[in-house]
Structure 1
């Protein structure tokens, strides 16, 4: 199965306010193995990044000024992601921006080009309810080194997310409930085992007295009734 781990960086948090995508990073997995067939591009948004966003990714207007516009890279992106299962951390954010960019070019939604979406943030919240589930927190939880991550970067974050996703879902394929039951061949069937006669020997008076004495000792130890004494006590009618 072909999967694409995807991340974006943007000029702000809301495409409806004119914010744009400035970086796309994708990492390809084939049958849960990294292939090295990655997709990475910086994009000139023809606007400045908001201060909060700039503090996150550090991609300045000057750095992006000679980079291609979105319409110049969109066909390569469409071909790369076509039909794949896409893995995103907090998928509504990235999909909202990607769908918006496609709409500006009068293209079908980004979502219509892919097979399905896995949101690792949703998956992490199900696995670790009440815990921090940011990418950094998940790297710490699964022992994935992110020491080289000083600022957010789409390709770097996709590479880290790929490691997190593989760690989070490790062994998942063997946990299904539809595993076929293995039945022994005819020659391996066990012959019926004859049940031996059960012999019942009632306790003697001395044994019963010793039992009562043992229960009394337990009652004394717990300063009340032990569970066996309580169970044997006669039940009062309701």
Structure 2
């Protein structure tokens, strides 16, 4: 079922029993006209639900291009999803989440409201994510813990070896350096010449409604 104020991009395939564009599951919603915009070439499998936005959240839920949303997953109101994102079976994204490009969210995982997940991060199966995840982070365990970098994903995308080495060093500084997490990131920004490390610095210093997942 495709309903409501919903736009679906070219070559996106929606499988049976999905409900796309349903009203938000938010008690504050009073029937305002809000939207869901889905990009091109997405694959949306059976029993997926994607809701429109809310007036208080900007009125728009957005899904990028080339994503895969496996059976039973949920995209709540006002979520913003980038390109090439994979959401595995029965994972749920709560309202207002921001999911950057190339993220993978494992099956049966839950992402808390307002959480940001940075580019190229991977969330293991059956994981609760309650705080922001840095770009290229690897999150595991039932209660999400930042457990390293998504090295497999970096290599698959052809990231240069020098940048992977720089990312590893940056992770060690973030994990073990002195001072607050944001202060460590600022020091990285003063030292790095890697654009990939700069993405982490910019993500951490941008400000957020949530704290950050840190190494356990």
Q: What is the TM-score with the length of structure 1 in the denominator?
A: 0.18
Larger Rg: 1
More strand by share: 2
More helix by share: 1
- Using CA pairs under 8 Å that are at least 6 residues apart, name the structure with larger relative contact order, 1 or 2: 1
Q: What is the TM-score with the length of structure 2 in the denominator?
A: 0.19
